[in-house]
Structure 1
Amino acid sequence: MKTTLNGNWILYIPHLDMEIPGTVPGSVYNDLLNEQVIPNPFYRMNEYEVREWMRHDYVYKRTFIKQKSDYDIYLVCEGIDTLSEIYINQHHIGSTNNMHRCYRFLVNSFLNDGENTIEIRLLSPITFIEMKEEACPYNFYQAGDAMRGFIHLRKGHSMFGWDWGPQLPDAGLWRDIYLHESSNGYIDYIQLKQVHKTNQVTLNYKIHIKDSDQPKINVKIMNPDGQVIHQSNQLENEFIINKPKLWWPIGLGNQDLYQIEIELIGHHSNDQKNEKFGLKTSRIKIENDQYGSSFTYVHNGVEMFLKGANYIIEDNIIGRTSIEKTRLLLEHAVQANHNAIRIWGGGLYPSNDFYAMCDELGLIVWQDFMFACAFYNLEDNQWLETVEQEIKDNVKRLSNHPSLSILCGNNENETAIVDWNVPSLEVSKKMYLELYENLIPKWLGELDNKIPYWPSSPSSGGGFDRPNFDGKGDMHYWGVWHGNEPIEYYRKVFPRFMSEFGIQSFPDIDTVKTFAEPQDFHIYSKVMKSHQKNKTANKKIIAYMRKMFKYPKKFEDILYVSQLIQAEGVRYGVEHFRRNYGRCMGSIYWQLNDCWPVASWSSIDYEGRWKALHYHSKKFYQPILLSIEENKRKMTASIVITNDLLEGFEGHIVWEVIQIDGKLIESGKKQVSINPQEASLIYKKELNQYRNLKNQVVFYAKLVDKSNQLITDNMVTFVQDKDLTLVKDYINIEVHQNNDQVEITLVSPTLKRFVQLKYKDMIFSDNFFHLLPNKAKVVTMISSDEKISDIYNDIIVKSLIDTY
């Protein structure tokens, strides 16, 4: 029996001797904000003032009713952030030191019969890390944008700051807290093993019970249709599932889920655990080949090209996160044709709900353990003990989710040893090898974990063997952006799996208005610089802007053009990776989301607004991609079709050489037959004869199916956009209602580059697109309650030429 302690608490603020209402699950910052004790930390430069509030301790307290019992009563804390001392009826019952763990305390002897009090004293994380850092005998490398000392506390690293996040290390009771009463122990976790044969799966389950001498259980397993296919009273058993319904990632099949229900029977109170799971196999194919060594995710025997983005914490104010916001974010990823998501190692292990959503949506999850851009003192026994429990807690909690498919030791720590000139090198190497190549594999082995483990990202497999080499393992490529290389340099690398790369941009102007005032509207104002955590980023944005575009006239246009740089740069990389299908089998760009309103690498900003990159990803991640590899110097264009699907495709391509003023110079058509899971060069066009028109022509190609329906299209130029002779004329629009969709038809007499539509916060079927001269483009948005006249009058339409 569970008695929830979620809900209304009192938050006591000792340094003010003040009590305010508190909410659990939630966080200190969120409660202080709700009661207007602190200003909005995201507004202007309030971050630095609000950060200092975490130099203090806080106390959450409440009363609850519970009768004394002859049976075991546990206090279960699924998430405490982070350092705490816990008291029931003024008796100290335990401490916590790890945000990433679930804690369970036996509390029978501390309970009154009836009303009881609970206090959870949260200790200052800033004071703790500063004290530990001063006492540390080694000068370990730590990410420079975070508060020094974060390595000593098992708390989301980026809460202490990152090169896209604020220094706002919130605290609180951030996940469920409850009393669990049981007369026969409790269910620790369910371990599932699968053996797959043709049209048959042997499923073995083992139920791990704690604090019970003679556990009695009932086990029931249902198929995806809800039919009971197995019942037992055994702690460990196996049975055969004939004609199994496998779980597939999106685009390759259905997301069928089975369910296991466990009931632990006691004299007084039963414990129950229900989990959904999928039948699947997964592995990473690592084999020598003509390019080096492959790194290919294989699901149910099918080699997959993983397409997605890196996920960070969703909000530095932990109490503001919600299932609804997370679901929307993941749905937006799927809408943009992502089939995978990487949980980056500097944040948090997401909730069970997150993985359940990925199960339902068909997203493959690459899960870093929470170690990033830093080295850790393994001589700190308390730290090491809690890390072991953290790893085991989360693997036990998450391993039955079919979406969870890769476990990774850390983010960038191996390549740091080799490439970053880190201090305390020898001790860092020794402790690195011990943690990621000895201890974590050992702990996973003790759990009999079957999820593929990879020691670091990037890595060639461990042992400091060329960890960021493009011929082996996974790669992070930052020559473009951090190295100031032009976007064309993406074509110089041939990764086996690209797990990080990206370009920064500013958020939408409406997002900027949530934290800045008009007097701040300059990218070098103090406020804008405070919301730009990468110290050299503004300079880089301007440099890329000058390479690719004319400098915009207005602040708002600078934001817009920065998003074009980001979208075009990442597109350039992804199309190159996908043209090399088979050699490269993954593209995970940096990053999907933001944790506050900021200039960053995200494709969706903090307010949920899609940047140009996210609209671009909907195109460059579509299952069948037409990309054009142009050579500006030679004036050639090569059309490549990449087909991720398990079936072939037949249709035809149409290509055109078009002048900006609408004149069709040349066109052609070619039948195509594309094999499944292949990239094929379809056609190469020589355009040298148009060299004197290179500022005025574009090469356009589209792919249509046998019924002449458009599948995908693309366009290239032979000069940078800044050198195109675009024309500043009009775009005609018409707006119509079609059931629950609004259709917006756009026509222009001349080519328009990067046409952006804005109407409230609506998401469009396409945006930041190129509008061909004299060819109607229909864009839709979902809306059944907007007046057509309002949309027509208020919709904003602009293109690149409008920024000059």
Structure 2
Amino acid sequence: WWPAGEGTQKLYDLAVSWENEDGSTAQTIERRIGLRTLELVTTPDRSPEGHRGESFYFRVNGRAIFARGANWIPADQLVDRCTPAVYRHLLGSMVEAHMNMVRVWGGGWYEQDSFYDLCDELGLLVWQDFMMACAIYPDTRDFVAELTAEARYQVRRLADHPSIALWCGDNENAKAIWQWWAKKPGHAKRVAIYQKTLGALRTTCEAEDPSRRFWLSSPSNDEFGGEPDDANRGDVHYWNVWHGGQPFSDYYNVKPRFCSEFGFQSFPEPRTLTAVVAPEDLNPSSRVMEHHQRSGNGNVLITNTMAREMPIPKDFASFCFVSQINQAMAIRTAVEHWRRLKPWCMGAIYWQVNDLWPVASWSSIDYHGRWKVLHHAAARFFAPLLASIVHDQGALTVWVTSDHSAPVTVAGTLEVVTWSGQRIASVPLRASLAAGASRAIATKDVDRLLAGKAQRHEVCCFVRLSGTSGGRHVAADNFCTLVPWKWVTVPDPGIRTALRSGRRGLELHVSAKRVAPFVHAEITGTEGHFAGDWQVLQPGRAYVLPWVPHADRGQRELGLAEARRRLVVSSLADFTM
């Protein structure tokens, strides 16, 4: 059994029977199992600056795995709405976006059996929190007995699943005790309570399942005390960009071993809100819209950051979509940076994949299962082969990052193109990487690339690579602007589309005369998405976007004629003033 993207998910039906003395069957227990080895590797080392460090990565069947994934919250406020079809759509969407891990957050609930069955089938490693979060829990005899009984039950229920990768004591309780409340009266008492409670939980969990690691808390370095958010060891939660209001570039300042929480918010698409919000309240600062926001001043943070990064949207519907583009750019910045750091950093699990009601939130898929821009972006920044461009100190550096288990050889170009479609520079690229490696393959001076033919706000940079890994074709492409999107003036991109029937269903063929930022295609009134949606299109290049109906959300197959009538295509230029 392998995680998604690493190999197949072979599962076996196992039946164990007990017989009575007369040969009759007394009891039979049936399980579906997978065979694999799994370790959490925490080996002492040193950071490049000489600080004490410790690795943090999962090794499956002898192979180091970079964890690509998202945090999971309950899929609805009512458990009976969390059906296998809902689970299949959400978890399947994670795998479609090249994820291989889901963290079941400790502020929700233990999921139903069908959830873990699907994780086994789909190859999603499960980081399983115990259900405690952001609080100090009592150390009374009754509570500890209840906690350990709960842990014993859940471990016995779930331990046969090959997808379970880690048992984690809680969400942010250690951080709360040693950071949030450290200077408040009663610190020593809180520490003693926590040590007693979590010590009992650890003892129970390790006795029940010696095959997996118990991790004290998330974030932590698995120790009582110290620095739960020490980036050089353990896992970290990094919230300076969202809660701290820092620019997206602040992500470059942290080099974690494994980031198990970080996030940025956006609004869902307009129809998700118009179904539950009256027309007069479709305003980010209305009383109703602020109620549909559980992050205090969340709508203010979304709006202020959009003003810092993006052009001003022309109406509320455009506001929703531009907020999603903004969110995607934030998380893309973090993930690409941390993937470039491998093997120092070996995991990026963003907050969060799903929603439990129609709301502005950190999710990449809204309550109705509709993909936001972030989820489309995740399918690109979590791809096994990542090409990325870093613009820093007047230079562009092209990186290639591979999660492939075989060496990679690629060739391609770095191109600088004006928004009107004129190519003013083209740099040939060629590189070979070891299995699972990441490195810079070229650095070019921006002024030399521009050569006086254009200014920084007048161009977009594209990298495009293709090659082989283990005898298989691989490819990666990406883009980079040299200024914030709000400084860019985009002419009509001249988008051309043709919706056709392909071998596997509907396909949208797209091209553009000029650079087309964040092209969005939608078959209105349906539940589904185009794979490859919300890209920045390079002029003159042909793109094929397969239509993916959300069958698990009830979407029927569409005929070509009906789909053509419903098709609407737009881009960033259509959303702004």
What TM-score, normalized by structure 2, do the two folds share? 0.92
2:365 and 2:210 mapped to 1: Cα distance?
34
Q: Which has the higher helix share?
A: 2
1:296 and 1:530 mapped to 2: Cα distance?
39
**Is the CA contact 1:596–1:606 (under 8 Å) kept in the aligned structure 2?**
yes
Structure 2: 5+ residue stretches without partners: 48-52, 550-555
Question: Residue 478 of structure 2: which of 692, 699, 714 is its match?
Answer: 714
Cα deviation for residue 425 of structure 1 reads: 2.6
Question: Residue 211 of structure 2: which of 439, 443, 450 is its match?
Answer: 450
Cα deviation for residue 388 of structure 1 reads: 1.3
Alignment pair present for 1:534 and 2:295: yes
Corresponding residue of 1:254? 8
Corresponding residue of 2:529? 763
Distance 1:710 1:732, change over 3 A: farther
Corresponding residue of 2:27? 271
Corresponding residue of 2:107? 346
**Is the CA contact 2:17–2:25 (under 8 Å) kept in the aligned structure 1?**
no
Structure 1: 5+ residue stretches without partners: 1-246
**Is the CA contact 2:273–2:358 (under 8 Å) kept in the aligned structure 1?**
yes
Question: Residue 789 of structure 1: which of 558, 561, 567 is its match?
Answer: 561
Question: Residue 605 of structure 1: which of 366, 383, 408 is its match?
Answer: 366
1:148-187 to 2 correspondences below 5 Å: none
**Is the CA contact 1:415–1:464 (under 8 Å) kept in the aligned structure 2?**
no
Partner deviation per Cα, 1:135-160 (whole Å, 9 max, x = no partner): xxxxxxxxxxxxxxxxxxxxxxxxxx
Cα deviation for residue 570 of structure 1 reads: 0.3
Partner deviation per Cα, 1:738-790 (whole Å, 9 max, x = no partner): 13421212232221211111112222111111122233322121469433333
Alignment pair present for 1:433 and 2:195: yes
2:46 and 2:440 mapped to 1: Cα distance?
20
The letter of the residue matching 2:466 is V
1:364-763 to 2 correspondences below 5 Å: 364-379=125-140, 381-421=141-181, 423=184, 424-436=186-198, 438-631=199-392, 634-689=393-448, 690=450, 693-705=455-467, 711-728=475-492, 730-759=494-523, 760-763=526-529
1:416 and 1:516 mapped to 2: Cα distance?
36
2:89 and 2:307 mapped to 1: Cα distance?
35
**Is the CA contact 1:349–1:370 (under 8 Å) kept in the aligned structure 2?**
yes
Tell me which structure has the larger Cα radius of gyration: 1
Cα deviation for residue 729 of structure 1 reads: 5.2
Q: Which has the higher strand share?
A: 1
**Equivalent pairs: percent with the same residue?**
34
Distance 1:785 1:471, change over 3 A: closer
**Is the CA contact 2:137–2:197 (under 8 Å) kept in the aligned structure 1?**
no
The letter of the residue matching 1:651 is V
1:97-136 to 2 correspondences below 5 Å: none
Cα deviation for residue 250 of structure 1 reads: 1.7
Distance 1:269 1:515, change over 3 A: farther
Pick 1 or 2: higher relative contact order, CA cutoff 8 A, min separation 6: 2
Partner deviation per Cα, 1:687-727 (whole Å, 9 max, x = no partner): 12437511111111111126996711001011000101211
Question: Residue 281 of structure 1: which of 32, 37, 43 is its match?
Answer: 37
The letter of the residue matching 2:95 is V
Distance 1:718 1:383, change over 3 A: same
Moved more, 261-270 or 445-454: 261-270
**Is the CA contact 2:67–2:101 (under 8 Å) kept in the aligned structure 1?**
yes
Distance 1:263 1:433, change over 3 A: same
Distance 1:443 1:708, change over 3 A: closer
Corresponding residue of 1:79? none
Cα deviation for residue 553 of structure 1 reads: 1.4
Partner deviation per Cα, 1:449-503 (whole Å, 9 max, x = no partner): 3211110111122122111011111010000100000110101100000100010
The letter of the residue matching 2:423 is L
1:647 and 1:696 mapped to 2: Cα distance?
39
**Is the CA contact 1:635–1:718 (under 8 Å) kept in the aligned structure 2?**
no
Partner deviation per Cα, 1:357-416 (whole Å, 9 max, x = no partner): 11111111111111111111222x333222111000000111111110111111111111
2:44 and 2:177 mapped to 1: Cα distance?
25
Distance 1:553 1:448, change over 3 A: closer
Distance 1:448 1:779, change over 3 A: closer
- Report the 3-state secondary structure (helix = DSSP H, G, I; strand = E; otherwise coil) of the residue aligned with 1:254: coil
2:325 and 2:179 mapped to 1: Cα distance?
31
What TM-score, normalized by structure 1, do the two folds share? 0.67
**Is the CA contact 1:392–1:443 (under 8 Å) kept in the aligned structure 2?**
yes
The letter of the residue matching 1:396 is R
The letter of the residue matching 2:339 is R
Corresponding residue of 1:82? none
Indicate the RMSD between aligned Cα atoms, in angstroms: 1.9
- Report the 3-state secondary structure (helix = DSSP H, G, I; strand = E; otherwise coil) of the residue aligned with 1:628: strand
2:253 and 2:159 mapped to 1: Cα distance?
38
Distance 1:447 1:780, change over 3 A: closer
- Report the 3-state secondary structure (helix = DSSP H, G, I; strand = E; otherwise coil) of the residue aligned with 2:391: strand
**Is the CA contact 1:624–1:644 (under 8 Å) kept in the aligned structure 2?**
yes
1:435 and 1:301 mapped to 2: Cα distance?
34
2:395 and 2:230 mapped to 1: Cα distance?
30
Corresponding residue of 1:235? none
- Report the 3-state secondary structure (helix = DSSP H, G, I; strand = E; otherwise coil) of the residue aligned with 1:763: strand
2:117 and 2:565 mapped to 1: Cα distance?
42
Structure 1 runs of 4+ aligned residues shifted over 6 Å read: 707-710
Partner deviation per Cα, 1:512-568 (whole Å, 9 max, x = no partner): 122112112111122211111111101100111011112211000111011011111
Question: Residue 546 of structure 2: which of 777, 780, 784 is its match?
Answer: 780
- Report the 3-state secondary structure (helix = DSSP H, G, I; strand = E; otherwise coil) of the residue aligned with 2:353: coil
Partner deviation per Cα, 1:638-697 (whole Å, 9 max, x = no partner): 111111111011220211111111101011222221210110211112112437511111
2:289 and 2:299 mapped to 1: Cα distance?
10
2:77 and 2:370 mapped to 1: Cα distance?
18
Cα deviation for residue 289 of structure 1 reads: 2.2
1:326 and 1:726 mapped to 2: Cα distance?
40
The letter of the residue matching 2:462 is Y
Aligned length: 554
Partner deviation per Cα, 1:88-107 (whole Å, 9 max, x = no partner): xxxxxxxxxxxxxxxxxxxx
Alignment pair present for 1:802 and 2:574: yes
**Is the CA contact 2:109–2:131 (under 8 Å) kept in the aligned structure 1?**
yes
2:473 and 2:157 mapped to 1: Cα distance?
46
2:89 and 2:137 mapped to 1: Cα distance?
35
Corresponding residue of 1:40? none
- Report the 3-state secondary structure (helix = DSSP H, G, I; strand = E; otherwise coil) of the residue aligned with 1:667: strand
1:458 and 1:523 mapped to 2: Cα distance?
32
